[in-house]
Amino acid sequence: MRPIFIALFAAMMAAVCLPAASALAAGKSPPVSPEQKKQGMAAAPGIIKSAGLDCQLADARMMGTQVDPKTKVKSTFYEIACRNAEGYVVATKASGAPQIYTCLEAAAAKGASCVLPENADPKAGLAPLLAKADPSCQLVNARGIGHTADGTETDFEVACQDGSGYIVHTSYPMSVQKPVKLQPCFLLAMSGGTLQCTLTTPAQQTATFDAIVAKMGKPCDIKNRRVVGATADGSYFFEVACQDGKGYMVEMAANGQVKPAIDCAVADNIGGGCTLTNARQAQTEQAGLYTRLAQKAGFNCNVSKYAPFDVELPGHEVVELACSNRPDGAVAIFPASEAEPAHIYDCAHSELVGYRCSFTPASAADPNLTNDLKRLGKSTCAVSGSRSVGKTAGNIGYIEVACADGNPGYLISYTLPAMTPKEAIACVAAKDIVGGCQLPTNKRG
């Protein structure tokens, strides 16, 4: 919901604050009479209670009164200063709810500024609010935007020490006890909406976005960018197109954390997919790259289909591969640098390192398990089924296998993450190891 700007408030305050405005324009602090302070301090506790302000009273003054020329209703204006919190200007009437404005909003009204010493720097009152917000912001500047017409939200703009900027959405009246949401200024600039940031420059907003893209785990000299959309949990998706022709979907969580990039080739389910790059061409090129990397790692696979796993493994990409030249697929863990070795786990072994295949069944890799048994001196069992059992705290993994001849099978232990076969334990002797064998033919034994 859009905030309402405070031109009406400024008009209401014009006559009330004329002496103060003149003094402020001359660079002087306007006078506050003892009577104004007395009246303010007398009224402030009741105002704080009735308005529901999150405020420990430090000081107050009665600013003046105004009679609406149409309704003839009299309003009395007070400035209230709070300990270590934002100050307020409050308009009260004989009946009805008070109208509440923060000192930052009042400052935007040009002439209605707060003048009590505790409110001398109204942006300082935002510090407790920003301290509980994600991402963090070391405050440099701030301005009041206004609050929503339904009285549910107060909005500010802040500029941070690192050059980033945000629109701050918080409660009305403002309270450090209520939720706060920071909306990046670069998002508003990219979306082209009517509400725009003015405390950070377009160059700063672009630099903030580029810094986010740099965290996505993929090299990209940005050619173009767009906002894709937001999720219910406050995350944002962006598409970036790179100078080398590649493109990615970037997800930024509400707290500013960036998840690993999703290649445009497999991003069709996100906001309708990429529009700044040729996704089909990207799919073909990426499949060729994975084919080359898999073969370099010793897994002879002509990649026909692939899907990255949505996991955070710094410096690595985890991808499921389906192959056109062999029935068994695999999960590949590719490092960012081709100088480092990749790790390939066929779909019978991949669950031991936390990844389950969806393109090809684990049974397609049964011959590989048969070969593991042969390496361990068990040459009479042709594997006809398997079950990933799990791993121990000492990084020993177990796979249960059944034999095609119907005789009891084995528990094969592996050293992880190398997936080196360590021992084949007959199911009849494995009853006390990680729950024993569970496959039907093994339980009969």
Residues in the chain: 445
The reported pLDDT for the residue numbered 27 is 52
Structure tokens at 281: 């061409």
Q: Domain residue spans in the chain?
A: 3-120, 126-206, 220-276, 281-360, 364-444
| H or E element that contains 129 | helix 127-131
Specify the higher pLDDT residue, 193 or 306.
Answer: 306
Q: Is 31 exposed, middle or buried (0-12, 13-18, 19+ CB in 10 A)?
A: exposed
Q: Locate 293 and state its tokens.
A: 């990397």
**Average pLDDT of the residues in 343-349:** 94
Query: DSSP characters for 33-48?
Result: -HHHHHHHHHHHHHHH
CA distance 248 to 215: 12
Taking Cα atoms as reference points, which of 317, 307, 298, 396 lies closest to residue 352?
Answer: 396
CA 340 to chain centre: 30
C-alpha–C-alpha distance, residues 397 and 348, integer Å: 12
User: Is the Cβ–Cβ distance between 154 and 172 less than 8 Å?
Assistant: yes
- Residue 404, pLDDT score: 94
If 0-12 CB within 10 Å is exposed, 13-18 middle and 19+ buried, where does residue 254 land? middle
pLDDT digits (tens, 9 = 90+) for 355-404: 999 999 989 999 999 999 999 999 999 999 999 998 888 899 999 999 99
- Collapse the DSSP code of 341 into the 3-class scheme (helix H, G, I; strand E, B; otherwise coil) and give the result: coil
Provide the angle, in degrees to the nearest 10, between the axes of the packed helices 18-25 and 7-16: 90
Distances (CA, A) of 403 to 5, 113, 363, 379, 408: 76, 84, 12, 11, 7
DSSP 58: E
Give the confidence band of 132 by pLDDT, cuts at 50, 70, 90. Answer: confident
Residue pLDDT, tens place only, 188-229: 988 887 889 999 999 999 999 999 999 998 889 999 999 999
Q: Which two tokens stand for residue 38?
A: 């007395």
Looking up tokens 């791993």 gives 391
Around Cβ 438, how many Cβ atoms within 10 Å?
11
Cα Rg of the chain, angstroms: 33
Q: Which residues contact 11 (CB under 8 A, 6 or more apart)?
A: none
Quote the pTM value: 0.66
Q: What are the distances in angstroms from CA 7 to CA 19, 105, 109, 291, 355?
A: 19, 10, 7, 63, 58
Confidence of residue 150 (pLDDT cuts 50, 70, 90): confident
- The residues pairing with 399 across neighbouring beta strands, listed in sequence order, are 388, 412
Mean pLDDT of the chain: 88
Q: How confident is the model at residue 316 (pLDDT cuts 50, 70, 90)?
A: confident
Q: Strand, coil or helix: what is 425? A: strand
What torsion, rounded to 10 degrees, do the Cα atoms 180, 184, 188, 189 define?
Answer: 160
For residue 327, pLDDT beyond 90: yes
Give residue 150's region: left, alpha or beta (phi > 0; psi -120 to 50): alpha
Partners of residue 239 on adjacent β-strands: 226, 249
